[in-house]
Amino acid sequence: MAGTALAGIGATEFSKNSGRSELQLAAEAVLAALDDAGLAPSDVDGLVTYTQDSNQEIGLAREVGIGDLTYFSRVHYGGGAACGTVAHAAMAVTTGAAEVVVCYRAFNERSGRRFGQPDAGLGGEPSSLGLEMSWHVPYGLMTPAAWVAMFAQRYMHEYGVKSEDFGRVAVAMRRHAATNPAAWFYERPITLADHQASKWIVEPLHLLDCCQESDGAVALVVTSADRARDLRCTPALIAAAAQGAGAGQMMMTSYYRDDMTGLAEMGVVGRKLWEISGLRPSDMQAAILYDHFTPFVLTQLEELGFCARGEAKDFIHDGGIEIDGHLPVNPHGGQLGEAYIHGMNGIAEAVRQVRGTAVNQVPDLENILVTAGTGVPTSGLILTRGSES
C-alpha cells in the first residue's frame, strides 16, 4: 500500500439542517477535494462509496463533470465501510484499474432520513439479514443504541467498567470539538457531571454517550504516491488498509459468540494492519477511532492492542486519550463532537494530522491509525508521513 496516497480532502459544512440534497452535498465535497489536490474532474477515473449512500457513482460523475470511469465500487456495512472505501481505491490504483479515485459519503441525516430510528420491518425480509433481525426486532430491540447497550452491559459486568468510564470518552471528544471551528459542538465542552446528568437513551447509555445526527459530506482523493508528489498538497501515504469480519459476525447484534465483550471484527482488522505496515500500537502518535457510541471506543483500544482486555478504563483515565494524553484520540472531536458523517470525517482529520495542518495538531506525528464502524464488518487504515512525502 506504500505506493498509494490520500492526496486531497474536501467537506461540506457540517450542520443540523443543511437545506441541500445529498447529491448537492456530495458534489460540493468532491469538488473541494479535487481543488485541494489541484486536480480537475476530468482527472478522475474511479469512484468509491458506501452501499447506503444515495448517490450513484454515475449520477455524481454527471453532476461534477467527471468523464469516463474505469473503476467504481460500493462497500457494505454502513460506517464499517469508511476505511474500506480507501482500501478499494488503493487496490484500484495499485493494480492500474484507475489512476485517480475519489471516495465519498454524503449524509442528509438530520433534515432528511433520520438514522437510527426504530424500524419494525427489519425483521420481516426473506434474507439472511431479515432472519438475523427476526430474533430480536419483534421484541423491541430495534435501534443501534439498544444493540450497543446490550454489549455495554456485558462489558461492564465482566470488567467492572462504570458509566463514568464511558463519560470520560465523551468529555475528551467534546474537549477537542470545543477548539475545532468546524465542529458542531465548537466552544461547547462538557464535564463528567454533565455526562452523568444527561438523560438515559437505553441503559447504560446516556444521551452524551451517543453520536450526533448530522448533514454533510466528505470526499477523499486517492492516487499513486508518485503522482501525489506533484500535486498541490502534502499527501498522506497509505501504509496499510484492511477490512475484517469476525467468526459468528452479525450486524451490530453478534450476541451468540462465546465472548460478547469484544469486537472480534476489529481484532481481525488490527492484526492485518500491523502485519501489512510492519508497525505496532507503540508506533502510533494518535488514533481516529469510530465513536458512534462511547463503549466501543474502549473495546477498540483493547482489540487494537493499545491495552489488554478490560484495561481500557485505566488507559483513558486522567485524560489518557485527550490531546495531551499518551494517545490522543479524535483530535477533531470525532462523531460525538464534530459531526457524524459515517466515519469519513475521521479519515479527513487523519490526513490533516499527517500534513501537520490540523486545528488540534498532535506534535511530531508520523503515523496515525483510523478505524471505521464497530459492531459490524469493519475496516481500518494506517496513514503515515513517510519518507516519500
Residues 289-297, mean pLDDT to the nearest whole number:
98
Please list the residues that pair with 343 across neighbouring strands: none
**Residue 372 is part of which domain span?**
4-112+212-384
Reported as a single tens digit per residue, the pLDDT across 246-286 is 999 988 888 888 888 999 999 999 999 999 999 999 999 99
Residues 159-166, mean pLDDT to the nearest whole number:
98
Q: Is residue 81 part of a domain?
A: yes
In this prediction, residue 388 has a pLDDT band, given cuts at 50, 70 and 90, of very low
Strand order in the sheet with 367-371: 71-75, 46-50, 100-108, 215-224, 4-11, 236-244, 378-384, 367-371, 286-288
In this prediction, residue 119 has a pLDDT band, given cuts at 50, 70 and 90, of low
Indicate the range of 117-121, 209-213, 367-371 predicted with least confidence. 117-121
Q: Is residue 256 part of a domain?
A: yes
Q: Is residue 153 part of a domain?
A: no
Reported as a single tens digit per residue, the pLDDT across 101-113 is 999 999 987 776 6
Q: Mean pLDDT score of the chain, rounded to an integer?
A: 94
- Whether 290 sits among the annotated catalytic residues: the reply is yes
pLDDT of residue 127: 84
pLDDT of residue 389: 39
Q: Is residue 198 part of a domain?
A: no
pLDDT above 90 (res 244): yes
CATH number at residue 318: 3.40.47.10
Closest listed residue to residue 349, CA positions, set 374, 378, 379, 370:
370
Q: Is residue 167 part of a domain?
A: no
Residues 375-380, mean pLDDT to the nearest whole number:
96
Closest listed residue to residue 255, CA positions, set 153, 156, 159, 166:
153
Residues 30-38, mean pLDDT to the nearest whole number:
98
pLDDT above 70 (res 236): yes
Beta carbons of 203 and 157 less than 8 angstroms apart: no
Q: How far is CA 263 from CA 88, 126, 196, 253, in A?
A: 23, 27, 25, 11
Residue 316 CB contacts under 8 Å (≥ 6 apart), including other chains: 165, 168, 169, 172, 297, 298, 301
Structural domains in the chain (count): 1
Reported as a single tens digit per residue, the pLDDT across 303-349 is 999 999 999 999 999 999 999 999 999 999 999 999 999 999 999 99
The catalytic residue among 50, 71, 155, 290 is 290
Reported as a single tens digit per residue, the pLDDT across 199-212 is 999 999 999 999 99
pLDDT of residue 141: 87
pLDDT above 90 (res 17): no
Look-up of cell digits 499527517: 354
More confident residue, 258 or 76: 76
Q: Is residue 127 part of a domain?
A: no
- Whether 50 sits among the annotated catalytic residues: the reply is no
pLDDT of residue 91: 97
pLDDT of residue 68: 98
User: What 8-state DSSP symbol labels residue 151?
Assistant: H
Closest listed residue to residue 239, CA positions, set 82, 383, 88, 85:
383
pLDDT of residue 126: 80
In this prediction, residue 78 has a pLDDT band, given cuts at 50, 70 and 90, of very high
Q: Can you list the positions of beta strands (E) in the chain?
A: 4-11, 46-50, 71-75, 100-108, 200-202, 205-206, 215-224, 236-244, 286-288, 367-371, 378-384
Q: Is residue 139 part of a domain?
A: no
The catalytic residue among 71, 77, 104, 340 is 340
In this prediction, residue 28 has a pLDDT band, given cuts at 50, 70 and 90, of very high
In this prediction, residue 132 has a pLDDT band, given cuts at 50, 70 and 90, of confident
Q: Is residue 301 part of a domain?
A: yes
Q: What is the DSSP secondary-structure string of 231-283?
A: SSS--EEEEEEEEE--TT--SS--TTSS--SS-HHHHHHHHHHHHHH---GGG
